[in-house]
Every structure is written in structure tokens, then in C-alpha cells.
Amino acid sequence: MGNQSNSSYESNQQNDLDVVIRNGREILFQAFNWESHKHDWWRNLERKVPDIAKSGFTSAWLPPASHSFSPEGYLPQNLYSLNSSYGSEHLLKTLLQKMKQYRVRAMADIVINHRVGTSQGHGGMYNRYDGIPLAWDEHAVTSCTGGLGNRSTGDNFHGVPNIDHSQQFVRKDIIAWLQWLRNSVGFQDFRFDFARGYSAKYVKEYIEGAMPIFSVGEYWDSCNYNGHGLDYNQDSHRQQIINWIDGTGQRSTAFDFTTKGILQEAVKGQFWRLRDPQGKPPGLMGWWSSRAVTFIDNHDTGSTQAHWPFPSNHIMEGYTYILTHPGIPTVFYDHFYDWGDSMHDQIVKLIDVRKRQDINSRSPISILEAQPNLYSAIIGEKVCMKIGDGSWCPAGREWTLATCGHRYAVWQK
């Protein structure tokens, strides 16, 4: 970090980082679910790279590639070992090579809030990392999770030693590891797991140190609920995510959990939720669309964990909303590859419209209807859409139907 070198390589990487967020034309693919580790995953994905590229995705988020105590990858131990339950280091590198060939960026899942120890230290806890690279002692572990470090700068992830990012030696080692992933292994983008667990200022330092092309953080907190269900107003929820993005020096985007929470209630006949009192979209997307990564479900909310699933009979309405709207949309593996060819093809048609009509993360939006059973909007100059079972179509003969399906339609000029 203290290196003042102004090499053209560094400034070019910095430009890449700024260009992608400024450009706003990313379409992300979450390339795994909670069960993927059982299915020879790197090999499976390698076969799908041509289709992922042809469908229009710019970046594919891969599951955690490092050695982990749990097969899913979220209890890492030896960060420098790329032999995981998803496949060998060799198979991973073959996959990354193919993605590079097809110009789909590879997004690494960065799990650095916590780390499983290898040996017992202070208090008899497994809070030392002897015998593996990054051989930290108890000072690398927060005092609130059994270490000799400082208190955590965020929320605790229970049951495992949480990493103390306030320690300079820890940050130096993490930056070196991220640089290795970025410059040697072949990952270009980062997704920061459990971003509530440590201060956003460290994420800023890690991004500036390793220069990923694109970053997104998982800042997931509960939406606001009352006795009758979800509150109409989720401003405090989206403000928390905005504060986190600001803390990263605006270097990172964040998953729009606010939009997910509202949208999955709205599709049940409460589309009035999709317009806030100012007439804007009610999620993070409505306040800072260039940093809002929208999604319907992921490996935690959906898949076999199903902690907070989107209603399964409304998935296409959800995708119609996020793929026509500002923000940076993400498509989930299950919906694209496991729910049948029809859904795959319907999603591809929506992506086609987005790209052809040049909708981007900052496209202006005008919400026309937000009734219980109908939502409609015009996005940019040349796209309009409706979801819900209320009937609606745009006025004017210049609009032609671009794509439609059960309870959704999209028009273009």
C-alpha cells in the first residue's frame, strides 16, 4: 500500500475499475448453488462457459475456491490451497482459462471474515494457523471470538475464529493473497462474503491493494417487518447498505437486499410496494442504482437452504423487473440451468432486450402504475414493461412487443 509507484500498469488497472462501474453495463451470473460441491463443479461449469458468454453475462461469480473445513467453501482454512470440493486447482485453472477465452470475467468469492484454525492456542481454542501458509497466531483473531486481537469492527460470525482486520500484518497478508488471486490465478472480480463482519474501510484497502475490475459486497441485514409483514418503508435498510458502500470509498457495489425483500412481497399482489413516496424504486436501486447489484435469489436465500426464497411461481416477474430496470442485475444458476429450458430462454430474451436497447445501471425510470395487481414502467427512452395479472399496454403505435410470458410483458420502440 505504501508504494508510491505510478506505473502505467497500476493506473491502467485503476482505470479498469472505474470504467466498469462508470459504464454500468454489467450483467452478472451466480454460477453455483448450495449443492454444487457434490457435482464435479469446475468441470460442469467449463462445459457451460460458451452458453454463459453467448447469453450476455459479463462476469460469473464462482463459489469459494480455497480449501475449506466445510464442502461449500465458507469455512476457509488454507487460503492458498486451491484444491476444494469443487475440484482441483488444475480444473479451476482450466475453467478460468476458458472463461478468459470467451471474455467472461471470473468473480472470486472472498471469505475473509473468519478462518478455521489448525491448532490450539490461547484458552485452548483453535485460534492459531500453524503449519499452513499465513501461519498467524492468536493476535490475528478478534478478542470477541477467542483470540488475542482487538474487538471486531463488525458483527460476529459465530462458531469460528473471526479475523482481526485491524492488525496490519493480517491486512498485508490478505492483500498479498488477493493480489495472487487477481494476478496469478486469474480471477478479475471479487465478491466479499459477510461484509457486515468487518469495517468497510478494510474492503476499500483490499480493493485498492489488489485492483479487481469489479467488486460487490454482501451486506445482508434483515428488512424492517411489523406485526402484519414487511414495512412499506425500507429507507433505513437501504441507507445501511449505502453507508457500507460509502465506507469502501465507493469502490464496491453491494447486493440490493432491499429490492429483493420488497419485490418478493410485491409479486404476491402488492405491487404498490414498488413505488416509494418520491415515485422512485423503493430499494437501493432507487437511491444509488450504479452501485446496486440486483438479484432474485442466491445460494443462501434460495437453493436447498431457502432462508428467504422468492416465490417460485413468480420468478419470471422478478427477472422482468431486474433485467429491465437500472442497477446491475444478477441471474441465479438454478433458475437459468435447473428450472427448464423455457425459463433459460425467457431470461435470455430479457437480457437481449436490455443489451439491444442499451439499458444500463443508471438508466432513468418512470413508474407509470403501482397497483395491487399491476406494475408498469418506462426505462430509458425505448423500453417499457408490466408485471402482474392486471392488463396494461403502452399508449402509442411506436411500441412493439419485445417479449412476454406468464404475468409479464416488455415492449420496445
User: Which grid coordinates belong to 351?
Assistant: 437480457
SS3 402: strand
Give backbone dihedrals phi and psi of 228, rounded to 5 degrees, phi first: -105, 5
Q: CA–CA separation, 327 vs 257, rounded Å? A: 12
User: What is the gyration radius of the CA atoms in the chain, in angstroms?
Assistant: 22
CA diameter of the chain: 75
Is 10 an active-site residue?
A: no
Check if the beta carbon of residue 116 is closer than 8 Å to that of residue 73: no
Q: CA–CA separation, 307 vs 208, rounded Å? A: 33
SS3 397: coil
Q: CA–CA separation, 145 vs 123, rounded Å? A: 11
DSSP line for 366-386 = EEEEEETTEEEEEETTTEEEE
Q: What angle do CA 381, 385, 387 make, to 5 degrees?
A: 160
Point out the catalytic residue in the list 109, 193, 265, 334.
193
Query: Which residues face 366 on adjacent strands?
Result: 378
Is 193 an active-site residue?
A: yes
DSSP line for 22-63 = HH----EEE---TTGGGS-HHHHHHHHHHHHHHHT-SEEEPP
Q: CA–CA separation, 351 vs 108, rounded Å? A: 23
Segments in 147-301 forming alpha helices (H): 168-180, 200-210, 235-247, 257-266, 284-287
Q: CA–CA separation, 45 vs 94, rounded Å? A: 10
Q: How many CB atoms lie within 10 A of CB 38?
A: 10
Point out the catalytic residue in the list 218, 276, 297, 317.
218
DSSP line for 81-102 = ---BTTB-HHHHHHHHHHHHHT
Check if the beta carbon of residue 377 is closer than 8 Å to that of residue 385: yes
Provide the annotated active-site residues: 193, 218
